Amino acid sequence: MLYKQEREELCKVVRTMFLRFETNAAGGNVSARINDEHIIMTPTLMSQQKFCDLEWHEILVVNMKEQKVEGDGNITREINMHMACYRERPDIGCVLHAHPKESLVFATMGMEMPNLTESTQKLGTIPTLPFAPATSPELAEIVRSYVQSRDTDGLPLAMLLNKHGIVVLDKTLRKAYDVLERIEYNAYVAYKALILDSLSIKKIEDNTRELEFNLEE
């Protein structure tokens, strides 16, 4: 019975995601690094079959060779994307992949999300990466390459997947979920602001400036 408390916490987070339309029945998966040997991860079909309402024993313990150590369920094929992130950056403690309702507007259009709210400024650019099919090695490599290219002074890091969803990387599960929530609110604001801007009702002002951001909050 490995990491029961951590697996219970992951159950709470994915259930909250589903209830708040931050992922949908089409999928999503979340993992958290426990140590150099193991991650914990949601099972395949957690959304379609379980509506993200999981019991702690359904959260999988997986080793770095992508083999299940413990848990009821099967490993998602998108583990390749998660492992690509963990192998690229030792400071990554959580990989959160979701299909959030508002952010999918920008992901589906294949466009960068305007970063307008103060609470998301620490993320910098929120890009949409080039398209590759879900679960494919090509998508895992696109994500890995982007992570490698970003010289971030600590985490978090977020990217949209073209026509697919979002990936958020941070040091802990709770921090990654916090970033997802902030991005979803920013997405809601951004597409409304773009409409007002395009109608010339009120132009979007670029008043960003260099700030020191508290990455702990």
What is the reported pLDDT for 194? 95
Q: Give the whole-angstrom CA distance, residue 1 versus residue 75.
A: 18
d(CA 127, CA 15): 26
29-33 and 38-41: which strand pairing? antiparallel
pLDDT by residue (tens digit) across 156-203? 999 999 999 999 999 999 999 999 999 999 999 999 999 999 999 988
pLDDT tier, 154 (very low <50, low <70, confident <90, very high otherwise): confident
- In the block, which residue shows the tokens 């801007």? 197
183 phi and psi angles, rounded to 5 deg: -65, -40
The predicted pLDDT at position 208 comes to 58
Six-digit token string for 53: 């309402």
Q: What is the C-alpha separation between 18 and 177, in angstroms, rounded?
A: 12
Confidence of residue 205 (pLDDT cuts 50, 70, 90): confident
Residue 6: CA atoms inside 13 Å, Cβ hemisphere, count?
21
Stated pTM of the model: 0.93
Strands 157-161 and 165-170: antiparallel
Q: What is the CATH number of domain 4-198?
A: 3.40.225.10
pLDDT at 95: 98
pLDDT at 214: 60
Please write the tens of the pLDDT for every residue from 36-77.
Answer: 999 999 999 999 999 999 999 999 999 999 999 999 999 999
The domains of the chain are located at: 4-198
Residue 95, both tokens:
């990989």
Q: Could you give phi then psi for residue 214, rounded to 5 degrees?
A: -85, 105
Phi-psi region of 70 (alpha: psi -120 to 50; beta: other; left: phi over 0): beta
pLDDT band of 29, cuts 50, 70, 90: very high
Asked if pLDDT for residue 215 goes beyond 60, the answer is no
Per-residue model confidence (pLDDT) at position 155: 79
**Cβ-proximal residues to 28 (8 Å cutoff; 6+ apart), any chain:** 14, 17, 42, 46, 47, 52, 97, 98, 99, 165
The model's pLDDT over 73-118, given as tens digits with 9 standing for 90+, comes to 999 999 999 999 999 999 999 999 999 999 999 999 999 999 999 9
